Chains A and B, each alone.
Chain A
Amino acid sequence: MVTLSDLPSQSSRERTPPTALEQKLRRKARINAVIRYSLLTVIGLVMIYPLIWLVGASFKTNSEMFSSPGFWPSEPTLQGYIDGWQTSTPYTFGRFFLNSMWIIIPKTIGTAISCTLVAYGFARFEFPGKKILFATVIATLLLPNVVTRIPQYLLFRDIGWLDSFLPLWVPSALAGDAFFVFMVIQFLRAIPRDMEEAARVDGANTLQTLIFIVVPLLMPAIISVCLFQFMWTMNDFLGPLIYISSVEKYPVSLALKLSIDTTEAFAWNQILAMSVLTLAPSLTVFFLAQKYFIEGISTGGVKG
C-alpha cells in the first residue's frame, strides 16, 4: 500500500517541478488516505455508538426509550438520575459507590505494594526454590478463575469472612494476582541493574534501593497495574455476587442488577443513568493515568 511517507520527499527540497510519476503517486496517496480515514471513522463510530446511545438514553424518559431509535433525547430529563440514585432500597446509590470503594481502594493499593515486592524478589534475587515458586506463580496464571471459586468459597466460609469485603480484596493485596506479578517482573527485567548497583554502592540497603530507585523506575508499570485492578474490580460482578449477601454491602455492580430484580416494569432510564455514573470513575481514572500508562520508561540515566 502506498502511504504518504512513500512519496518522494526530495522533490520539494530540490524545487524541481514534480514529474508525472510523482504526481500520480501523490494523487494515489491522497485517495488512499481519504479511504483509510473514512473507513476508520465509520468503524470507530459503530464501535462507540452503544456508549453514545447509553449516555443519550439516560436522559430520556422511560417511555421514549424504545419509541425512537436515535440517541438524542427529545425531552431531556434528569429524572432517571434522580430516581435511580434513590434506588428501591433504603440506601442511596452513593452507599453502593462507597461499598465499591471499600473494596477497590485497599485492593488496588495492596496489589501495587505486594506485586512490586514479589516481582522485585523474583527479578533480582537468587534464592533456593526460586524456579519452582516462579513456575507456581505462572501456573496460577494459567488456571481458569472458575476452578478455584468453590475451594476459595469454602476456605473463606471457614475463616468466617462471608458477607464481608475481605475475600474480595485480601487475596489480591497479598499478590494473589499472578498476572500483575508477571507484568511487573517483565517490566523490571527490562530495567538495567546498574542503577540499583550504584545505589548499593551509595550505601542503600535492599529496601531503600527498592523504594528510592526501583519504584520510581517502575512507576509506569505500577500505574498500569493500579489502573487494571481498579477497572476490573469496578466491573467485577461474580465475586461480590458470591460473597456479599446483604444489600447494605452491595457494590455498584450488584446494585445495578438490583434495580432490574426488584421492579416489575424495569425503569430502564434509571438503570442506564446509574450505568453512566458507574462508568464515570473508571473513565476518569483511565484518563488521569493515561499519560503514565502510555509513557514508556524514561532511560535518561543509562546510555549504551
Chain B
Amino acid sequence: MAELQLKSVEKTYGNGFKAVHGIDLEVEEGEFMVLVGPSGCAKSTTLRMIAGLETITGGEVQIGSQVVNDLVPGKRGIAMVFQNYALYPHMKVRRNLSFGLRLKRQPKDQIESATTDVSGILEIEALLDRLPKQLSGGQAQRVALGRALIKQPEVFLFDEPLSNLDAKLRASMRVRITDLHKRLREEGRPATVVYVTHDQVEAMTMGDRICVMKDGHIMQVADPATLYERPANAFVGGFIGMPEMNLVPAVLTREDGVPQLTTGGQTIAVPDGLAHRISTPEGAVTLGMRPQHLELTEAEAPGAFTAEIVNLEFMGHEVNLHARLGDAVIVAVVPSEELDRNLARGDRVGLRPLGPRIHLFDSETGRNVSLAQGN
C-alpha cells in the first residue's frame, strides 16, 4: 500500500477544452478518499488519469515514491472497479478474477489460493463457474470488486461502482465495501482507496476524507464532519447535506456596531454564535442555513424570519416545511410534533436561524466568510 499524490494535475483535451485545472490532492496510505461532485466536474477524468487511462497533460501523479505519469496502467500498481463492471463476458468468473495474475505468469497454485481467498471474502465461491451474463447486478459488482482485490494493488480506484445497482443493494454494497476497507486495515494491509461518486450519501458514509470537485477545480478536501459543519464555500455548503442548504442573498449591515442581516425585506440581528465568526465588514452576502438549523417559532418572533408556508412534506419523524421568504423559498426540517399546531399552507410562521450553525458566503466568490476562529 502506498500514498497517492496529485501535484497540479491538468487535463486539456485535443480540442483545447480544459477539463482539470491543476489540482493538488494527497491521499494518505490506507485512506478512503472520495471524489464527489456533480456530473461534468471531471472527477472521473481525474480518476482515469490516476489509472493511466487518460493522458496527463500537466503536473504529476505519484504513487508511493514513484511518478507514474508515463507508466502504463498495468505497471502503476492500481486496480480499478468500473461503473458497468466491465467483466470479460467470455470468461467464467474464476478466469475473470485471475486474469491479471495469469498475465503476470504467477504460479498456478498461488493463483488458485488467491482466487479461493478473495471469493471467500466476497462470498462468491458459488459463482466461480458462471459466466458474467449469468450474474445479477450485485453479484457482478462483487466479482468486479474481487478482480481488483486479488491483485493486492497499491491503490484501489472505484469509478461510481454502485450507480447501476438498485437502492437497497447499493446500501448493502456500501456497507460491504467500507467493512472490507476496515477489515483490510485491521489485518495490517490497509488499502488506499480513491472512490468516485456523484452521490453525496455515499461520499459522506464511506469516505475518511472527501474531495468535493466542481468544473475541474477542487472545492474542498476534508473529513465528512468538517465538510458539513465548516463548508469552505457556498458550493460545498449546497452540495453536501440533505435537504440542500438554503442559500439566500442577504445584506450584512452594522448599526451602532451591531451586525444585522437583511433578506426578503426583513432584518434581524445576527444571531449569537455567528457574529464573532464573520470576517467581512459589510455588504452583500449569501446566507447559508441548513434546513435542520432553522427553528420554528411564532411569526414576528425576535431573531426569526417570518415566512409563509407554501408546502409541507411529511417524512415520518420530521416534516420538510417549505416557506416563502421574500423571493426565495426556503426549507426547514421540523419535528413531526409541530404538526399538532395545525400548520397549513398560507400560514405565517417564524424561522429562527441557529447562530452557531449558520454560514455567510461572499456573494461573489462564494467563499465562506464565517469561518473565523473562535466558534
Query: Quick check: A301 and B89 within 8 Å, CB to CB?
Result: yes
Cβ of A22 to closest chain B Cβ, rounded Å: 40
Q: Does B131 sit at the interface, judged by CB under 8 A?
A: yes
**A199 surroundings in chain B (CB, below 8 A):** 88, 99
Is A192 positioned at the interface, with any CB of B under 8 Å from its CB? yes
Min Cβ gap A301→B in Å is 3
Contact A195 B72 (CB under 8 A): no
CB–CB B78/A194 < 8 A: no
7 further contact pairs, Cβ within 8 A, besides A192-B86, A200-B72, A217-B89: A197-B73, A198-B80, A201-B53, A204-B74, A213-B88, A300-B133, A302-B85
User: How many interface residues does A have (CB within 8 Å)?
Assistant: 24
Q: Would you list which residues of chain A between 186 and 211 have a CB under 8 Å from chain B? A: 192, 194-195, 197-205, 208
**CB contact under 8 A between A202 and B90, given known A197-B53, A197-B82:** no
Query: Does chain B have a CB within 8 A of A160?
Result: no
In chain B, what residue has the closest Cβ to A196? B86
| 6 nearest A-B pairs in the assembled complex, by CB-CB distance | A300-B133, A203-B74, A301-B89, A194-B86, A202-B100, A216-B90
Contacts of A198 in B (CB 8 A): 80, 82, 86-88, 147
Of B86, B132, B147, most buried by chain A (CB within 10 Å of CB) is B86
Considering only residues 43-84 of chain B, those with a C-beta below 8 Å from chain A are 51-53, 72-75, 78-80, 82-84
| Interface: B217 (CB within 8 A) | no
Q: How far is the CB of B261 from chain A (nearest CB, A)?
A: 47
A291 within 8 A of B: no
Q: Is B167 an interface residue (CB 8 A)?
A: no
| Contact (A203, B82) CB under 8 Å given A212-B99, A216-B90 | no
Knowing A199-B99, A200-B72, the reply to whether A303 touches B137 (Cβ < 8 A) is: yes
Q: Is B103 an interface residue (CB 8 A)?
A: yes
Query: Which residues of chain B come closer than 8 Å to A217, judged between CB atoms?
Result: 89-90
Q: Is the CB of B151 within 8 A of A202?
A: yes
Measured CA separation A217–B132 after assembly (Å): 13
> With A and B bound together, what is the CA distance between A197 and B53 in angstroms?
7
CB of A195 within 8 A of CB of B78, answer no
Closest to A208 in B: B103
1/0 per position for B149-167, CB-CB distance to A under 8 A?
Answer: 0010000000000001000
Say yes or no: is A151 at the interface (Cβ < 8 Å to chain B).
Answer: no
Are A201 and B74 closer than 8 Å at their CB atoms? yes
Q: A200-B53, A217-B89, A302-B89 are in contact. Are A205 and B74 (CB under 8 A)?
A: yes
State in angstroms the CA–CA spacing of A208 and B99 once bound together. Answer: 11
- Cα distance A302–B79 when bound, in Å? 18
Asked if B178 is at the interface of the complex by the 8 Å CB criterion, the answer is no
Q: Which residues of A contact B132 (CB under 8 A)?
A: 300-301
Nearest CB of A to B53, in Å = 5
- Over the window 31-44 of chain A, the binary record of Cβ atoms lying under 8 Å from chain B Cβ atoms (1 yes, 0 no) is 00000000000000
Residue B104 interfacial (CB < 8 Å): yes
Other-chain contact of B89, A195, A200, A208 (Cβ < 8 Å)? A195
Does B248 make an interface contact (CB < 8 A)?
Answer: no
Residues in B with CB closer than 8 Å to A194 are 82, 84, 86
Q: Give chain A nearest CB distance to B98 CB in angstroms.
A: 10
Give A82 to B79 CA distance when docked, in angstroms: 66
Q: In the complex, what residues of B have CB within 8 A of residue A298's CB?
A: 89-90, 133
Closest chain A residue, CB of each to CB of B84: A304
Cβ-defined contact, B85 with A301, below 8 A? yes
- Report whether B84 and A192 are in contact in the complex, using a CB–CB cutoff of 8 Å: yes
Give Cα A46–Cα B231 distance, bound, in whole angstroms. 79
Residues B53 and A301 in contact, CB atoms below 8 Å apart: no
A299 lies within 8 A of chain B by Cβ: yes
A204 to B89, Cβ gap below 8 A?
Answer: no
B74 touches A301 (CB 8 A): no
Closest residue of A by beta carbon distance from B137: A303
B266 CB–A CB distance under 8 Å: no
Contact B103 A197, beta carbon cutoff 8 Å:
no
Task: Indicate if B27 sits at the interface (CB-CB under 8 A).
Answer: no
Give bound CA distance, A200 to B104, whole Å.
Answer: 12
Contact of A303 among B51, B74, B84 (CB under 8 A): B84
Q: Is B140 at the interface (CB under 8 A from chain A)?
A: yes
Q: How far is the CB of B95 from chain A (nearest CB, A)?
A: 10
Q: How near does chain B come to A203, taking the closest CB pair, in angstroms? A: 3
The 8 Å CB contact of A200, one of B73, B87, B134, is: B73
The residues in A between 205 and 252 inclusive whose CB is less than 8 angstroms from any CB of B are 205, 208, 212-213, 216-217
Q: Are A300 and B74 in touch, CB under 8 angstroms?
A: no
* Residue in A194, A216, A217, A301 with the greatest tally of chain B CB atoms within 10 Å: A301
User: 22 interchain pairs (CB within 8 A)?
Assistant: A194-B82, A194-B84, A195-B87, A197-B73, A197-B80, A199-B88, A199-B99, A201-B79, A202-B99, A202-B100, A202-B147, A203-B73, A204-B74, A216-B88, A217-B90, A298-B133, A299-B89, A301-B87, A301-B133, A302-B87, A303-B137, A303-B140
The answer to whether B86 touches A195 (Cβ under 8 A) is: yes
Q: Are A304 and B74 in contact (CB under 8 A)?
A: no
Query: In the assembled complex, how far is the CB of residue B293 from the closest CB belonging to chain A, in whole angstroms?
Result: 38
Chain B residues positioned under 8 Å from A204 (CB to CB):
74, 99, 103
